[in-house]
Amino acid sequence: MVLTSLDIAILLLYLVAVLALGVVVSRMARKSTKGYFLGGNQISWPFLGLSNASGMFDISGTMWMVYLLFIYGLKSVYIPWLWPSFNQIFLMVFLSVWLRRSGVMTGAEWIRFRFGEGRGAQLSHFVVVFFALLSVLGFLAYGFIGVGKFAAIFLPWELHADPHNNALIYGLIITLFTSIYVVKGGMVSVVFTEVLQFVIMTVACIAIGIIAMQQVSPEMLAEVVPDGWGSMGFGWTLDLDWSGVLAQANEKIVEDGWSLFSIFIMLVLFKGILQSMAGPAPNFDMQRVLSAKTPAEAAKMSGFVSIVLLFPRYMMITGLTILALVYFMPTLQQMGPDVDFEQILPFALANFVPSGLLGLVIAGLLATFMSTFAATTNAAPAYVVNDIYKRYINPQATEKQAVKMSYLVSVVFIVAGTLIGLFVPSLNSVVMWLVSALYGGYTASNLLKWYWWRFSGYGYFAGMVAGIAAAVPLMFTDLSPLYAFPALFGLCLVVCVIASLKSGPDDMDVLVNFYVKTRPWGFWKPVLQAAQRKDPSVTSNTAFKRDMFNVGVGLLWHTSLTAAPIFMVIQNWSMFTAAAGMALLTTAILKFSWWDTLEDDDSLVPALASTVNEPFIPKHQGK
């Protein structure tokens, strides 16, 4: 594809602006590791929310979601529950508050806050660091694949005669460019550049949605999609038959293994709810929560992500999809069995976005890679430096030495993730292994840590090891990680419980400190009683029913925010009105039942300390 001089100028201007902004604000992060990893807990929640949304708005995920909407129609709204996409609802309702109250810097440091300093806690600390770094490598490889494919089509220079190698070279160049400001500035640089990137992406999304509405009428769309494509309803089976239109789509549905759609939905709900209740994985999402000024702001940030992310993103996804359905179908049919649905996004942009706007859109889509890459990369040095280097290798390290070590760790992980990306065949294979196999092995241990006082450090370690050990072979088999999830979760749960009961309870003082600062609901009665013996003002968390009500309302809210822009772009105005009405109604309910209660919840926490190093002090001892 040939870009005009105007498009190239806009693209270069964007790249220079991002690099300059990242380097300038990086000065704020040089003084300490807390400034580098968490922005010194001085970044306002709207900026963190925009940054987090930008980090989730990745080019690889966008290409994957365009493919899903193309093949599965409106039923694709449910498929991202695989991540699970609705985990932000659980975070905003209660888990972000619980997590931020810890005052720690990383997920591994949180493990010591929960389990103490015993042998079981040390083993758990090591395994969560290993898991975090493994997931960082997986997401870096995932981003590298997507940006290489995208850049090879849109950027005007042919760097290699072979298309595959051309994509790899572009991926390497863009990765190197992005690494400069990420390594230099840490969290502060990441957040400020991602806010700029999100603004650009939002403009691009709205523009693509409008172009698609002008180019594709409802009648044109109806001629190229099977019956039921525009409906969110489903029965026991998917009931989408692409025969006579694009036979390869039927084969792809069978290959994905989602033909029995009711079973698929039950599995993703079962998996998604459990994983959401387990809290965020130790990646960029957790780092944003820990970076918030207060627990209440952490919750607001998590809710803000859904508001700013879903509508513009799905305007773009839907616009690209319907343009490809109407105009790209002959090309896909000619590809035969080698059809590549990940080429839908580049085709639609190349053929329907006018000069000038195309440069902005390409800049925005490059930003989706850069923001995800930046957020993921920033998580790696937080674990290596804070949880390994400063704890075991050089406890006397100065802040300057720690920040320099962070630079080195970032570079090492960028190189390693890129090398892995060179050998991964497709985006879908990476997505399915990350969200179903690797995170499936993570679920049991991280679910129990919040809700059961008797769950020990040894139990956490044993469950995580069992999960990782079972997840790795799934990468090399044809068994769907989603369908393997119940067995994987059951195995890890049994291992967790047996190891916890065999090892004995953790230190009660550690559990009391955790309970009083975090204030979880669940099975904590013995710990509550121990805390009350020290301070009678400590009370249990009675918000379980309210939180579950808010989660239910939040799921409806999240789904309606996803469906509304799709119905708008395909110009199904009756369904758009219904979805938008549901979004407004659930927003009003959450205003009173969730938002208005956040500050009140924090005021009930006795002796709430700002960091994990400040333990709970009973009132009578403080006098």
pLDDT tens-digit map of 301-333: 999 988 888 899 999 999 989 998 999 888 888
Whether 191 contacts 43, CB under 8 Å: yes
In a domain, 490, yes or no: no
133 by DSSP, 3-state: which? helix
Burial of 481 (0-12, 13-18, 19+ CB in 10 A): buried
Rounded to an integer, what distance in angstroms lies between the CA atom of residue 70 and that of residue 341? 9
Whether 33 contacts 386, CB under 8 Å: yes
Structure tokens at 268: 């993703």
Averaged pLDDT for residues 577-596 = 96
Please name the residue that has the structure tokens 């960028």: 414
Rounded to an integer, what distance in angstroms lies between the CA atom of residue 54 and that of residue 367? 8
Q: What percentage of the chain carries pLDDT values higher than 70?
A: 74
pLDDT at 201 exceeding the cut of 90: no
Rounded to an integer, what distance in angstroms lies between the CA atom of residue 101 and that of residue 95? 10
Whether 479 contacts 565, CB under 8 Å: no
Whether 581 contacts 331, CB under 8 Å: no
Whether 61 contacts 276, CB under 8 Å: no
Q: Which amino acid, one-letter code, is at 497?
A: V
Whether 204 contacts 365, CB under 8 Å: yes
In a domain, 90, yes or no: yes
In a domain, 99, yes or no: yes
Q: Which amino acid, one-letter code, is at 402?
A: A
Rounded to an integer, what distance in angstroms lies between the CA atom of residue 319 and that of residue 314? 8
CATH number at residue 136: 1.20.1730.10
pLDDT recorded at residue 278: 93
Rounded to an integer, what distance in angstroms lies between the CA atom of residue 321 and that of residue 422? 27
Please name the residue that has the structure tokens 């090891």: 465
pLDDT at 614 exceeding the cut of 70: no
pLDDT recorded at residue 512: 95
DSSP letters, 302-320, are HHHHHHHHHHHHHHHHHHH
Averaged pLDDT for residues 20-26 = 64
Measured CA to CA in angstroms, residue 6 lies from 204, 240, 357, 433 at distances of 16, 43, 9, 41
- Which helix (H) or strand (E) segment is 479 a member of? none
Output Rg (C-alpha) for the chain, integer angstroms.
24
535 by DSSP, 3-state: which? coil
Return phi, psi of residue 452, to 5°: -130, 115
- H helical segments located in 475-608: 481-503, 508-518, 525-534, 544-569, 573-593, 598-603
Residue 262, C-beta contacts closer than 8 angstroms, at least 6 positions apart: 234, 235, 236, 237
Rounded to an integer, what distance in angstroms lies between the CA atom of residue 62 and that of residue 56? 10
Whether 439 contacts 211, CB under 8 Å: no
List pLDDT tens digits, range 145-177: 666 666 666 666 676 666 666 666 766 777 676
78 by DSSP, 3-state: which? coil
Residue 401 or 192, more confident: 401
pLDDT category at 361 given cuts 50, 70, 90 is confident
Residue 338 or 236, more confident: 236
Residue 514 or 16, more confident: 514
Rounded to an integer, what distance in angstroms lies between the CA atom of residue 277 and that of residue 154? 40
Rounded to an integer, what distance in angstroms lies between the CA atom of residue 45 and that of residue 107? 20
Residue 101, C-beta contacts closer than 8 angstroms, at least 6 positions apart: 295, 517, 518, 519, 605, 608
Whether 279 contacts 288, CB under 8 Å: no
pLDDT recorded at residue 594: 96
Per the structure, the count of domains in the chain is: 1
List pLDDT tens digits, range 286-300: 777 888 889 999 999
Residue 205 or 605, more confident: 205
Rounded to an integer, what distance in angstroms lies between the CA atom of residue 56 and that of residue 77? 16
pLDDT category at 50 given cuts 50, 70, 90 is confident
Please name the residue that has the structure tokens 């059951």: 490
Averaged pLDDT for residues 366-377 = 65
pLDDT at 612 exceeding the cut of 50: no
Q: What is the pTM of this model?
A: 0.82
* Mean pLDDT of the residues in the chain: 80
Exposure on the CB side of residue 568, measured as CA atoms within 13 A? 22
List pLDDT tens digits, range 205-228: 898 899 999 999 999 999 999 999
Whether 191 contacts 47, CB under 8 Å: yes
Whether 54 contacts 198, CB under 8 Å: yes
List pLDDT tens digits, range 521-578: 999 999 999 999 988 989 999 999 999 999 999 999 999 999 999 999 999 999 999 9
Name the β-bridge partners of 523: 452
Residue 184 or 613, more confident: 184
pLDDT recorded at residue 433: 57
Using omega within 30 degrees of 0 as the cis cutoff, is the peptide bond preceding 84 cis?
A: yes
List pLDDT tens digits, range 380-399: 777 777 777 887 788 888 87
Q: What percentage of the chain carries pLDDT values higher than 90?
A: 34
List pLDDT tens digits, range 390-432: 877 888 888 778 777 877 877 777 777 666 666 655 545 555 5
450 by DSSP, 3-state: which? helix
Whether 58 contacts 143, CB under 8 Å: yes
> Would you tell me how many other CB atoms lie within 10 Å of the CB of residue 556?
15
User: What is the number of helices (H) and of strands (E) in the chain?
Assistant: 28, 0
In a domain, 488, yes or no: no
Structure tokens at 400: 């300057």
Count Cβ neighbours within 10 Å for each residue of 428-449 and write b for 16 or more, e otherwise: bebbbbbbbbbbbbbbbbbbbb
Whether 80 contacts 387, CB under 8 Å: no
Rounded to an integer, what distance in angstroms lies between the CA atom of residue 277 and that of residue 467? 17
Q: Which amino acid, one-letter code, is at 483?
A: Y
Return phi, psi of residue 457, to 5°: -60, -40
pLDDT recorded at residue 280: 83
In a domain, 400, yes or no: yes
In a domain, 418, yes or no: yes
In a domain, 587, yes or no: no
pLDDT category at 502 given cuts 50, 70, 90 is very high
In a domain, 362, yes or no: yes
Measured CA to CA in angstroms, residue 242 lies from 70, 250, 566 at distances of 11, 6, 20
List pLDDT tens digits, range 73-107: 999 999 888 778 899 999 999 999 999 998 887 77
Which residues span the domain enclosing 202? 5-424
Residue 619 or 513, more confident: 513
Rounded to an integer, what distance in angstroms lies between the CA atom of residue 455 and that of residue 459? 6
Residue 14 or 1, more confident: 14
Rounded to an integer, what distance in angstroms lies between the CA atom of residue 164 and that of residue 394? 43
Averaged pLDDT for residues 329-357 = 77
Residue 198: closest CA among 455, 329, 463, 18: 18
